[in-house]
Amino acid sequence: MFVRCVELRDFRNYRRAELGLGPGMVVVHGANGAGKTNLLEGIGLAAVGEAVRARDTEELIRGGEEYGFVGVRFGVREGEVKVEVGLARRGQGRGGSRGRQFKIGGVVKRRAELIGLAPVVYFSADDIGVVRGEPSGRRRLMDLGLCAVSRQYYFHLGRYGKGLEQRNRLLKEVREGRQREAGLEGWDRALARYGARVMVEREEFIGALAAEAREAHGRIAGGGREFGMEYRPSVALASGQRGESGGKKPGELAEEVANHLVEAWRGGREADIAYGATLRGPHRDDVELTLEGQSVRVFASQGEQRTCALAMRMGLAARMREMTGEMPALLLDDVLSELDERHREGVFAAAGGAEQVIITCCDVEDVPEEARRSAEVVEIREGEVERVDKERGER
């Protein structure tokens, strides 16, 4: 899969821009604040319906404007698909995406219909915060990766999130004496049904992703300490076994996990009522990252944390290829700035299987010569796009 064309109107710092691209290596360079990251964010928004850095649609629209637009044409196995995203400061988009409307081939669609359509993997400089930060960042990595390829997971996660909000509201009402505690039993069983599916899918996904990320880390770091990933649910899976289904079918395993969740919530109900919130469950899960068995968050250097973050994204691309049959385009934002020459070469070695790699940097010379030689070069200047003639160095 690769990006054929990007059109931006009143998006971030772009008034109007259009850029046609081909497969292979694309180097996007320019000064800090020129709009390199915004370009990649627009592509990611069209691919998965989610903006990497923005939670609110208003953040995506250029200052002083009421509306914005992103249009991307993707080259896929079946030919070409065009995705358009309309942005509005006010209003409700179809499919529950506030202020956003999605079109595929000119037809309004729900966000869920983007899943698996044009897969991309986005690495940003903020990914190092995923490695060394709070569990919420690593959960988001799991969720975005799975939601990009599995409509089933997207559905289960959405239902769990809505059910969790309702349970938390009920907990507060019980604490205030406006509802009876017995009313929680029915909510727990309904919520556990979706929560168990989320946990089972996460377990399978991380188990496969760990192997791909370990291999990618070896290529980036040139060997060294072995990278590991392990799913850490806040409520232990059924029978205390992680990564072992015991020959059970997914539905049978999910039923066991659901029963386990119900028991955990029943046992912790007093504390949940006191806090007015559900203290355990999939919304509190984590992914443990290690180098030779030691915590990356605690013991790894900043450089090691960066290579681990990269390895997770590269592993995610490989896993998405296995699940969809299509290798995602790689969007690598400011990936080279803190890496030495050996690790920079390792990044391009690990990215070699992608049909297209779009990489941003401040200086084109940061890109290893071999990769730069065949790359398409684009310069961004204050929201303006200029293509560079590699032979003559002209724009």
- Is residue 308 domain-resident? no
- The reply to whether 382 falls in a domain is yes
pLDDT digits (tens, 9 = 90+) for 300-333: 998 899 999 999 999 999 999 998 888 999 999 9
Q: How far apart are CA 120 and CA 336, in angstroms?
A: 19
Q: Does 72 reside within a domain?
A: yes
Q: What is the β-pairing status of strands 120-123 and 2-11?
A: unpaired
Is residue 14 domain-resident?
Answer: yes
CATH number, position 379: 3.40.50.300
Segments forming the whole domain that contains residue 89: 1-119+328-395
pLDDT in tens, 147-201: 988 999 999 999 999 999 999 999 999 999 999 999 999 999 999 999 999 999 9
User: Mean pLDDT of all residues in the chain?
Assistant: 90
Gap between the terminal Cα atoms of the chain: 27
Lowest-confidence range among 60-69, 280-289, 379-388?
379-388
Query: Per the domain annotation, does 74 fall within a domain?
Result: yes
Q: How far is CA 323 from the centre of its chain?
A: 15
If one counts the domains in the chain, the total is 1
- Return the percentage of the chain with pLDDT > 70, whole number: 93
Rounded to an integer, the average pLDDT of 333-349 is 88
Q: What is the mean pLDDT of residues 217-226?
A: 91
Stated pTM of the model:
0.88
* pLDDT of 93 higher than 60: no
Asked if 295 and 243 count as a contact pair (C-beta separation under 8 A), the reply is: no
Position 337 scores a pLDDT of 80
Give me the sheet containing 14-20, strands edge to edge: 14-20, 2-11, 67-76, 79-92, 98-104, 107-109
For residue 95, pLDDT beyond 50: no
Q: How high is the pLDDT of residue 286?
A: 97
Exposure on the CB side of residue 259, measured as CA atoms within 13 A: 8
Q: Give 364-395 pLDDT, tens digit per residue.
A: 998 988 888 889 999 999 889 987 655 444 45
